[in-house]
Amino acid sequence: MFDKVDQINKELQSAHATNPQELEAFRMRFISRKSLISALFDDLKAIPNEQKKAFGEALNQLKTAANEKFKSLLEQGQSIDSKRSDTIDVSLPPIPHQMGGLHPISIVKNRMIEIFERQGFNVSEGPEMEDDWHNFTALNFPEDHPAREMQDTYFIERNPDKLLRTHTSTVQIRLMQNGTPPFRSIMPGRVYRNEAISARAHCFFHQIEGLYVDRNVGFKDLKQTIYHFAKEFFGKETNIRFRPSFFPFTEPSAEVDISCFICKGSGCKICKHSGWVEIGGSGMVDPNVLEQCGIDSQEFSGFAFGMGIERITMLKYEINDIRLFSENDVRFLRQFNGV
């Protein structure tokens, strides 16, 4: 029996482990519950009583020796590993860093924000799930008025209504309710409309709306703000024009067109040979909307505008299908890297 202990001791003392597999093999053979040493402990029962004490001591020493050896093998292995990672071969070529690129919608959104920020607008955001009051009632859409159907709405719950916002005008309401004029803010964000998906329309898109409320704000301020944006974004020679329109929350309301930056007005496919392309809606904030938000419409006036970021991006880069923005095809997305 004592011979066996000696033999195991010799074997474990001369053991080496140069990789994790060998280390694990050592652990299995000498330390684990199924090891040679554990088996000897089982034999202890069968040993005559007068030898039990001496054999038990020898076994305990063997067990300690095995544990110590294992510890030292483990330490050696770790120092090999750390030596490996300490020595970087500086002559090797670098591993190229795979950088992601910004989505075209983000690129255009950031550029639009930059232009409006320089005109003194800050950025406001709000929730995508809204109630009827913020999306319609506060914006002067009368109950059961057909204007509510201008924006086909996704309802999440009815009575009381919870819905996905159809425009970011909801953020204008939140801003005016929670603060005091003056306000000069733009609201970028995602909006949802239940429209048949085609090259021109999707069930969601992004808007940037703007709101400016102060004393003596007039239509001239709206025109100048949009004109400045159009020239900065589409080029110096860009012209703008306003066409009378209707929105429940603005009075008067106008559709905003810019002169076609592709053909410079001579007529092309983009402007359908009219020389003008539409970029959004606008108008003077209806006094009812100001009053709904607790603002004295005798003292304050304001303008608002809204543009679809997808539309602006499609015009700028001559993209002919809105679905490309959400298909996640890297061949499309890669073209905007570094823009």
Residues found near ligand PHE in the complex (CB under 6 A) = 167, 169, 209, 247, 250, 281-283, 304-306
Which CB, 126 or 265, lies closer to ligand PHE? Answer: 126
Shortest distance in whole angstroms from residue 248 CB to ligand PHE? 9
Cis peptide before 160 (omega within 30 of 0): yes
Task: Give CA torsion, residues 292, 295, 296, 300, to 10 deg.
Answer: -120
Shortest distance in whole angstroms from residue 98 CB to ligand PHE? 38
Shortest distance in whole angstroms from residue 91 CB to ligand PHE? 59
Shortest distance in whole angstroms from residue 175 CB to ligand PHE? 13
Which CB, 69 or 167, lies closer to ligand PHE? Answer: 167
**Which of 167, 305, 152, 158 shows the shortest CA–CA distance to 227?**
305
Closest residue to ligand PHE, judged by C-beta, is: 306
d(Cα 100, Cα 120) in Å, to the nearest integer? 31
**Which of 279, 266, 287 shows the shortest CA–CA distance to 306?**
279
At 239, which amino acid appears?
N
Shortest distance in whole angstroms from residue 192 CB to ligand PHE? 11
Which CB, 58 or 186, lies closer to ligand PHE? Answer: 186
Which CB, 188 or 281, lies closer to ligand PHE? Answer: 281
Which CB, 38 or 245, lies closer to ligand PHE? Answer: 245
d(Cα 138, Cα 248) in Å, to the nearest integer? 10
Report in angstroms the alpha-carbon separations of 18 from 21, 81, 82: 8, 10, 14
